[in-house]
């Protein structure tokens, strides 16, 4: 049974018990007042007798309800108080009817107090049974959800880092430039081979080779990784100079402010 149903039944039981107790208190008030006045008790004391007994009974019922909600049972003193208050209420209600010898009056005045006493005795048992219903385990245990599997992380294959291979610098092949030979004008003799780009060449040939080399050198990017030696070897053939002369010209051009 769901936990909310026993709690609703317990509240309904408490409400019914208090309603019966209130009605019995109102019903007994006039009967007890008449019996007290008939035996020498003056007002207002005669009106106080019934409320004294009823309030004690209400306190006992309230304490029993609180103990029952926590699964505890009242001890013998609580039971004795409840029974004494119930019997006192019944006695005060039927005293005049018993003195008159009227069986109908005795029954009519006995039913309300007896019902209240029996209901006050049965209420704690009902509450204990309601509390037991909320703690009884169900026949089939609730299904336990299986734990979700942890996601597997696929490991990427290790990629080897590429090794850096430094290529060796290519060896610069020195290409010999043939020196022109021919008869010297005006002498009739031949002269030996001479480097047209060297210091011994004519000024026109030297200036032309130097200018061509300067233009080639200016076209080389600033971040070119080649050294002066490699540049001289690469540009010498294009401008008609020897690598040695081209390297010397490159050095002179750099000193004069021509960018590499």
Segment 232-250 shows an average pLDDT of: 83
pLDDT at 227: 82
Burial of 194 (0-12, 13-18, 19+ CB in 10 A): middle
pLDDT at 191: 39
Q: Which tens digits make up the pLDDT trace of 153-176?
A: 555 556 666 565 555 665 555 555
Instruction: Tell me the two tokens of residue 231.
Output: 């540049």
What is the rounded average pLDDT for all residues in the chain?
74
Angle between helices 45-69 and 103-135 (to 10 degrees): 20
Selection from 249, 201, 214, 203 nearest residue 229 by Cα: 249
pLDDT higher than 50, residue 186:
no
pLDDT band per the 50, 70, 90 thresholds, residue 246:
confident
What's the Cα-to-Cα distance from 194 to each of 197, 201, 212, 236, 238, rounded to whole Å? 9, 7, 19, 16, 19
Q: What does the alpha-carbon distance between residue 159 and residue 162 come to, in Å, rounded to a whole number?
A: 9
Instruction: Tell me the two tokens of residue 228.
Output: 């002066």
Q: What does the alpha-carbon distance between residue 244 and residue 254 come to, in Å, rounded to a whole number?
A: 16
pLDDT at 27: 85
Q: Which tens digits make up the pLDDT trace of 99-150?
A: 888 888 889 888 988 888 888 778 777 877 877 776 655 555 556 666 666 6
pLDDT at 33: 84
Segment 238-247 shows an average pLDDT of: 84
Q: Which tens digits make up the pLDDT trace of 4-60?
A: 777 788 788 888 888 888 888 888 888 888 888 888 888 888 888 888 888 888 888
């Amino acid at each position: 049974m769901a936990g909310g149903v026993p709690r609703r039944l317990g509240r309904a039981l408490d409400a019914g018990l208090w309603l019966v107790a209130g009605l019995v208190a109102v019903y007994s008030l006039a009967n007890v007042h008449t019996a007290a006045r008939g035996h020498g008790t003056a007002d207002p004391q005669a009106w106080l007798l019934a409320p004294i007994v009823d309030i004690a009974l209400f306190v006992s019922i309230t304490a029993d309800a609180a103990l029952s909600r926590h699964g505890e049972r009242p001890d013998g003193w609580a039971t004795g108080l409840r029974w004494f208050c119930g019997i006192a209420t019944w006695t005060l209600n039927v005293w005049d009817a018993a003195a008159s010898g009227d069986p109908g009056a005795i029954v009519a005045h006995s039913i309300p107090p007896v019902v209240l006493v029996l209901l006050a005795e049965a209420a704690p048992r009902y509450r204990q049974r309601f509390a037991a219903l909320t703690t009884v385990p169900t026949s089939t245990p609730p299904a336990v959800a299986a734990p979700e599997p942890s996601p597997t992380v696929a490991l990427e294959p290790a990629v080897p880092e590429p090794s850096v291979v430094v290529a060796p610098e290519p060896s610069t092949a020195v290409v010999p430039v043939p020196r022109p030979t021919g008869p010297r004008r005006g002498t009739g003799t031949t002269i030996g081979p001479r480097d047209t780009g060297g210091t011994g060449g004519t000024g026109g040939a030297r200036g032309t080779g130097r200018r061509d080399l300067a233009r080639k050198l200016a076209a080389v990017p600033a971040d070119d990784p080649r050294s002066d030696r490699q540049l001289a070897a690469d540009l010498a053939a294009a401008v008609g100079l020897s690598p040695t002369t081209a390297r010397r010209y490159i050095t002179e051009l750099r000193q004069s402010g021509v960018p590499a």
